[in-house]
Amino acid sequence: MIDRIFCDVDGVLADFVGGVLKLFPDSSATHTDITEWNISNCLGVPNDEVWRRVNAEGIEFWGHLDPIPGALQFVRGLEEIAPVTFATTPSRQPHSAAGKLGWLQYHFGTKRTDGNVVLTSQKHLLARPDTALVDDKPENVGQFLEADDVCAVLFAQPWNGTITDFVSVENSQKRTLKVLDILATVEPAA
C-alpha cells in the first residue's frame, strides 16, 4: 500500500513548456514539437538564450505558468490514495524556488502546500518503502525505482514519448483515472 506520493510540478502540473513557448513568440513551435528534454534544440536556439529569457522574467515566469489541464483534479485524485508531497527541481536562480512555491500556494492553497513541498533535483533520495513518484523525467523515474518497495509512473509528454521502459500515463483528460488506477492497483516493486 502506498503511504506517500511525490508529485513533480513542471511538466506534470505546471506548463513549463507553454511558458517557454510564450517567451519565443516568433517561433511556430507547439507542445508537440518539443520532442526532447532540451527544449532549446527543438526551438533551434542556444540553451543559454532560453534560460536568459526565463531568468529575465524572474519570479513571474514560475509563478504565472498555466496549470496543465486537469492538474487540480489530478492532485485531488492522488490525495484519495495517499498524502501528496510536491517534489520540484528549481533552476539555479533563487527566484525559481520562490515562484514555484507561490504557484503551488496559489493553485493548491497554503494548507495543502505547508510542509508538503520538496525542492530537489535528487528525487531518488525521497524513495522509501511504500512511496510513489509521478514525474515526466525518465531519469527521475528510473532512479526512484532503484529503491525497494516503491512505485513510479512516467507522466507521458512529447519530450519523453519514445521512452517505453516504465509504466507511462498519456497526457490526456483520462490521465487522472489512469494514474489513480495504476497507483491503486500496483504493488510497490520489491
64-104 pLDDT, tens digit each:
999 998 888 889 888 988 999 999 999 999 899 999 999 99
Specify if 190 maps to a domain: no
For residues 45 and 122, membership in a common domain is answered with: no
- Specify whether 73 is located in the same domain as 45: no
Q: Can you give the pLDDT at residue 159? A: 83
What is the distance of C-alpha 112 from the center of its chain? 17
Query: Domain check: are 34 and 108 in the same one?
Result: no
Domain that holds residue 25: 16-58
Q: What does the alpha-carbon distance between residue 16 and residue 37 come to, in Å, rounded to a whole number?
A: 12
Judgement on whether residues 46 and 112 belong to the same structural domain of the protein: no
The total of structural domains in the chain comes to 2
Q: Are residues 31 and 52 in the same domain?
A: yes
Single out the residue of 142, 147, 145, 86 nearest to residue 119, CA to CA. 86
pLDDT of residue 185: 58
Band (182; pLDDT cuts 50, 70, 90): low
- Mean pLDDT taken over the chain: 86
Q: Are residues 136 and 51 in the same domain?
A: no
In a domain, 175, yes or no: yes
Which residues, other chains included, contact 103 with Cβ-Cβ below 8 Å and sequence gap of 6+?
A: 9, 14, 62, 63, 64, 65
| pLDDT > 80? residue 190 | no
**Co-location of 50 and 134 in the same domain:** no
pLDDT digits (tens, 9 = 90+) for 5-33: 999 999 999 999 999 999 999 999 998 89
Q: What would the mean pLDDT of 106-119 be, rounded to a whole number? A: 91
Residues 107 and 39 in one domain: no
How many other C-beta atoms can be found within 10 angstroms of the C-beta atom of residue 120? 13
Does a structural domain hold residue 83? yes
Report whether pLDDT(109) > 60: yes
Provide the sign of the torsion angle of the four alpha carbons 13, 74, 186, 181, taken in this order. negative
pLDDT above 50 for 108: yes
Which residues are bridge partners to 2 per DSSP? none
Do residue 170 and residue 89 come from a single domain?
Answer: yes
Mean pLDDT across 137-161: 85
Q: Are residues 48 and 128 in the same domain?
A: no
Verify that 45 and 69 share a domain, yes or no: no
Does the pLDDT at position 122 exceed 60? yes
Q: Does residue 80 share a domain with residue 28?
A: no
What is the rounded distance in angstroms from the CA atom of residue 153 to the CA atom of residue 149?
Answer: 14
DSSP-derived 3-state class of residue 156: coil
Residue 124 lies inside a defined structural domain of this protein? yes
The CATH number of residue 180's host domain is 3.40.50.1000
